[in-house]
Amino acid sequence: MIDTGNRNIIYYQTARANVVGSNKIIRGIRILIDSGSETSFLLESIAEEVGLPTVSIEKLKIHTFGSRAPHLRELERKRVLLKDPNSGSQLECNILGIDKIVGVDLIRIPSKGIASVLRQKGFVLSDQGSEDTEIGLLIGNDLMDKILTGKTCRLSENLMSYETIFGWVINGSSRGESVSNFTLSICTRVERCEDEKLSDLLYNWFQLESLGINDSLSGRSETDEKIIQKFEENLRFENDRYVTGLLWKREPVDLRDNFHLAKRQFDSFRGELNTNIFVRNQCKEIIKFRKANNIVEECNESETGYLMPYRSVVRKDKSTTQVRLVFNCSSSKRGDLSLNDYLNKVLI
């Protein structure tokens, strides 16, 4: 709704902070704090600009205010580090990337008069002193308790201020000159697509992980379906993650130690990384995340066993996650069997 008459100016809870990327690139962003949204969102363009790592890919139904039907979207959840440039406060969290949050210039920057009133009270207004009006980050209810400190201050009958870890924000209305004002309502509800069969979700996920390796996966046979069924039966939720066993064709009693081969392939891969700083930094962040979440672990030279060499797959046609790490389960010394020789390969 647009009203060009004399009326109060509406202010929303906006703040500013820095996003710190994996390669230490720092990007200032404007934040909208909105309790009407269940989930937080970050602009994909910003995530790509600073090189944020992807922690998961989720298929969601997004319900927006006034819409009759949900929008089905597949979004990447990014690992984000937010820092306040003034106080040094920071927040590390996982946020969904999206192509658009709010149109440019729809969310007004607080006036200099309001900033002055807050300064007189000893408070620092977070959203001030910048011509950048685009909202790069929407903070929803999932992160609200991590942003707000609980301190409030009433500035007038219709205008409140709230303290956040990024400084003070305001919310409410203030009388102003005759201008074009926008009444904006943002409300989103997000659902995970749980009506889809687990086997289909798993199959789609492994299709995604195979990008750059095998772009022409065929349909599943009856044997494949049985293998996936066995996979589901062994799947369990344990310590905040899903756990399952490998699908062996036979016991790996003859699976030999391949440390020296894996080391030679790693040295070759490391040489390639030295010529591409972007890919190298992306790989470091991926490995750092996987180690922190016990997905991978460092090998010990004194131990023996089968080691999976890895390499990067780069997709420059992707606007978000352009680098993935791929493990090579077919690696083996001449005359020896590889891990792939022992496994059913439906999910590999």
**Tell me: the pLDDT tens digits for 191-231?**
555 444 444 555 555 544 444 444 444 456 777 777 777 77
- Domain spans, the chain: 8-192, 225-297+304-347
Grade residue 269 by pLDDT with cuts at 50, 70 and 90: confident
Query: Which of residues 41 and 315 earns the better pLDDT score?
Result: 41
Which range, 166-170, 204-208, 266-270, 271-275, is most confident?
Answer: 166-170
Average pLDDT over residues 279-297: 85
Which parts of 108-242 fold into alpha helices (H)?
Answer: 112-120, 144-147, 198-209, 222-234
Cα(62)–Cα(186) distance, rounded to whole angstroms? 12
Question: What percent of the chain is predicted at pLDDT more than 70?
Answer: 76
Which range, 32-46, 61-75, 193-207, 309-323, is most confident?
Answer: 32-46
**Tell me: the pLDDT tens digits for 91-125?**
999 999 988 887 656 677 887 877 887 888 888 88
Backbone angles phi, psi at 320, to 5 degrees: -115, -95
| pLDDT in the model for residue 195 | 46
CA 83 to chain centre: 17
Secondary structure letter of residue 21 according to DSSP: P
Cα(5)–Cα(177) distance, rounded to whole angstroms? 10
Q: Among positive and negative, which fits the CA dihedral 116, 124, 142, 283?
A: positive
Average pLDDT over residues 291-308: 78
CB of 15 within 8 A of CB of 123? Answer: no
Fold classification of 8-192 (topology level)? Cathepsin D, subunit A; domain 1 (2.40.70)
